[in-house]
Amino acid sequence: MVLNVRVEKTSDGWGAYTPDLDAAIVALGETREEAIQDFRDALLDLFDYRREEGRAVPDITALEIRETRDVETLRPMLAAA
């Protein structure tokens, strides 16, 4: 499975998230690279937690990183977090 990751410039840094999982993962960073790395770390933490709970973990084969200029799409996710 290729996981789609959206990376967006925010007013004070960068954000990364995916619409492909049932769990919300939103990572923020001062740089684009930091946001992507924080996203990867959060994803691995989520999968470790699911394994510990005996739950299924998707078979992720790659991350497809896409940058978007639409800051508005990230704001509702940040407000809910």
Q: In the chain, how many domains are there?
A: 1
Average of per-residue pLDDT across 35-47 = 95
| Cβ atoms of 11 and 26 closer than 8 Å | no
- 23 or 36, higher pLDDT: 36
| Cβ atoms of 31 and 45 closer than 8 Å | no
CA 18 to chain centre: 5
Here the CATH number for the domain that contains residue 9 is: 3.30.160
Write down the pLDDT at residue 80.
Answer: 61
**pLDDT surpasses 80 at 60:** yes
d(CA 18, CA 33): 16
Instruction: Say what the pTM is.
Output: 0.79
Average of per-residue pLDDT across 32-42 = 96
Write down the pLDDT at residue 81.
Answer: 57
Q: Which domain holds residue 28?
A: 2-80
